[in-house]
Every structure is written in C-alpha cells, then in structure tokens.
Amino acid sequence: MQFVLALLNFQQCRPCLNQLPREVCMSENNIVQTPTPPYPEYSDAVLNQEADYGVLKQLEGTWVNYNPDKTNVGWGLHTTCMPSPGTNSETIFGIFHFLCENYTEELTFSLVDGGVRNRGGANEQFAGAVKYNQSIQRVSDGVGIHAEDGMYLWLNPMYNHAATEESVISDNGFPGIAIGAGANGPNHVPPYSIARSGTIPHGSAIMITGGFQADIPGKPEYPTGTDCWTLPFTQSWPTTPPPEDDNTVPAAIAANPVPLAGSPLAISPSMGASALLSVGDGSPPAPLNLDAPAPAWAFDKSLPSTQPDSNLTYFQRIVAHPSYPYSVRPDLRLRDAIKDQRIKKYTLIQLSSRHNGGLQGGVLNTPFVSTFANVTEMNLNLWIETVIDSDGCEVLQLQYEQVLFFEFMFGSNGQVTRWPHIQVNTLRKKKDFL
C-alpha cells in the first residue's frame, strides 16, 4: 500500500526579459505540514531518491550584503555584553563591556547529496542536510569578528520500515519479532521540522530546533514607537498577520512554529529593563519611544553618581550609543531595511535551544566559557522573502535575527544577569547582483 506524504512543491520562477532565471520559489498555495502517519513504506528504492530539503532548498547559494549606497541600515549589526577587565563573578552589577558594531557577511549554503538516513527500527527518517559556512567582518576596519560552520536539517521525510524475512533472519529476530512487525506503528511524529547545528571558535556548539510558517503574504510586521519597547514584555515575538482568506488555515496552525522565549531587546529584565522606566525626575514611569531621539538621561554623565543604583545607570551606555535605536532593539534595522521594499510573501523559520516542555535543543561550551560567560540559550528568526524589485522581477532576500544569552555576574534582581547577544542582517544572493 502506498501513502502520500505531504511535501512542499517547488516551481521555477519565470525569468524576466533579457535576464537569467531567478530563484526556485515555493508554490503559493501549499504549506508544508508535519508528516502524518501512516508513513510510506520503506524500500531500497528510497536510497536512490533525491533528498528532500523542504523550505531549506531556497537557501542554497552564497548570500552577501547588498548595500550599494553603503548605508548603515544595509549592514549587519551585533550587540554584545561582556565581562569588563578586572571584574569577577562577585562584582556588583552594572560593570560590563558593551559592543555594538556594523558588519558585513558572506553566508554560503550547500546541499548535501542524498537523504541522510536515520534508522529507528520501524521508523526511518531521511533528513535533508544543508551545510552552511558563515564569515563576518567588521565594517570599520575589515577585521574578521565571527566564523561559524554547521548544518540545517529538514526532518519531515519519514518512512515505515516493517520487519522482513531477511531482517528477521539476519538480525536474529526470531522468535522475538515476526515478519511484518512494526507495519502498524507506533509511528514517530517529528516534534520539529527543522534543526540547526553549529560550532564557533569561542568554544560553543549549538543544537536548535523548531518549525516554520510558509507563504505568508506581504512583509514581516514590526512595531513602532513605544510599542517597540513595551511589546517584548507582553507577548511572544514575532507576530504573524492572519491569512487574507478566511477559509485558509493560518500557517501558524498548519505548521509547527516555536513560541520563542527570547526578546528582541538588547537589554534584559535582569539588566533592569521593564515595560515602564522611572527616570527619577518626578515624571511618571514611561516606556522608551524607539522611533524618537534618545532621551536626555542617556547622556547625563552625572547619573552614575546621582543615581548609582538606578536601572537606567545599568544600561545607560546602550541607549546613548551612536547606533541607537538599533543598539537597544537591533531588529528595527531589519524593519527599516524593508520599509520601502515591495515584498510579495515570505517564509519564517523559528528555532530555539529551549522549548516549553518536550524535547530540547542545547548549547555546549568549553570550561572557560562556561565559567566566565556561560552561553545558555539561543533563539533564531530567519525570513526568506520574495522581493519584487524595481524592474518587476522577483528575487529572494534573507533576513535573520538570532539572540543568544550569556550569563555572568549578579543581576539587578539578585540573580545571575542574562546578557542578550544579538545579530541581525539583510542579505541577497551574490549571483543576483554581481
């Protein structure tokens, strides 16, 4: 008996006049869903099939910054808090080193030939593996500041592999199992569609897992004004607009996205962040308006003396940074990069090392990193956007935001401080404009 596995169909974009074909685009009316048992029956013919990479197929190629006007919004940006020289784990909170830098990037994805077979007895998975290599240089001087290698894995292709006469005999199955055992399950349903592994020279290795939402019409939504500050304290991020057709199942239900535990803010509650900030001048507590100029208290050099225990003193330098508001909320650079773009649709991939129950991902660190700046969590948003350029042609664009948390020193709440380390960037495939 043959069963059909719900897979994503791809179609070739129609080339513009006098131009080479663009990218492989997703079919608009199909949303990849978590595979549903019963699964197709395994046979040796599966070994000769091409790998299924799902939504990850769109990543193939080399992506770089497309920034012909050399504007700050066109570069990547990172915010990083680190231990300050002379400090230790018992140092009172507020003494830390902060970096916020523009960067340029080359990110290459390569498809691994053939499905990667994971054997689980009656259940078999043929993962589609996509290798990536990331190289990042600081814009100001061209010095390399980050390198990373790893893989994205498409985990949906599942098969049922029942016991055969050959397997029972060769694996000493008799009398424990009979021919045909496992044909009726139990079937493993992958809790996540996508996984990513990665290693960096600092001495950390990640495994993050999650899901996706496909064919979301329009462009990603971002808040403005004071909502940029207050919403991370009240709801998960990012938001997904409802489908235009009331009869369409929302992508957030059809797929398996992750409710991310992180926040797009470079300032965490243990660093003194809260939905309303008390300035100490008698005015009522109020949120930051991240679309207005930085507030006056950010540049008050007397603040460490007049309000040494104030939460504002803790993160004053972040608000006063020349890259404000991106130094406070880096993903606003992604918002501003697409502000004037016409985006037809996008796919959102959400991965995390930490989930609300169930099977978890994780982060492993070397002893030194674990002791002095322990990396405990990582969250990723990755958007694959179909942009309609000024010439009317469609081109793929990649935007990402990844948030890691370092833990070191006492926080303003008496516990260990969680320091967000955030990277954001907007990229296009090198072949599309070089």
Per-residue pLDDT of 38-68, as tens digits, reads 899 999 999 999 999 999 999 999 999 999 9
**Distance in angstroms (rounded) separating the CA atoms of residues 110 and 59:** 8
- Are the C-beta atoms of 321 and 100 separated by less than 8 Å? yes
**Distance in angstroms (rounded) separating the CA atoms of residues 162 and 2:** 14
- On average, the pLDDT of the chain sits at 86
**Distance in angstroms (rounded) separating the CA atoms of residues 345 and 386:** 6
At 191, the pLDDT band (50, 70, 90 cuts) reads very high
**Distance in angstroms (rounded) separating the CA atoms of residues 423 and 1:** 48
Segment among 23-27, 342-346, 382-386 with least mean pLDDT? 23-27
- Are the C-beta atoms of 400 and 378 separated by less than 8 Å? no
Residue 143 CB neighbour total at 10 angstroms: 9
**What pLDDT digit, counting tens, does each position of 145-156 carry?**
999 999 999 999
- Are the C-beta atoms of 52 and 115 separated by less than 8 Å? yes
pLDDT over 60 at 253, yes or no: no
At 278, the pLDDT band (50, 70, 90 cuts) reads confident
pLDDT over 70 at 259, yes or no: no
Burial class (CB in 10 A: 0-12, 13-18, 19+), 303: middle
Position 282, amino acid = G
Find, among 122, 4, 64, 52, the residue nearest to 396 by Cα: 64
For 47-188, list the strands marked E by DSSP: 61-64, 76-83, 96-111, 116-120, 123-138, 144-154, 158-160
**Distance in angstroms (rounded) separating the CA atoms of residues 407 and 417:** 6
Could you give the C-alpha distances from 178 to 37, 167, 351, 425, in angstroms and in order? 22, 10, 40, 55
> Which tokens sit at 430?
């090198």
Instruction: Provide the pLDDT for residue 6.
Output: 30
Q: Which residue has the higher pLDDT, 126 or 27?
A: 126
Q: Which of 12-21, 200-209, 224-233, 243-252 has the highest mean pLDDT?
A: 200-209
Q: What percent of the chain has pLDDT over 90?
A: 68
At 238, the pLDDT band (50, 70, 90 cuts) reads low
**Distance in angstroms (rounded) separating the CA atoms of residues 423 and 272:** 21
- What mean pLDDT do residues 218-231 have? 93
- What mean pLDDT do residues 194-214 have? 96
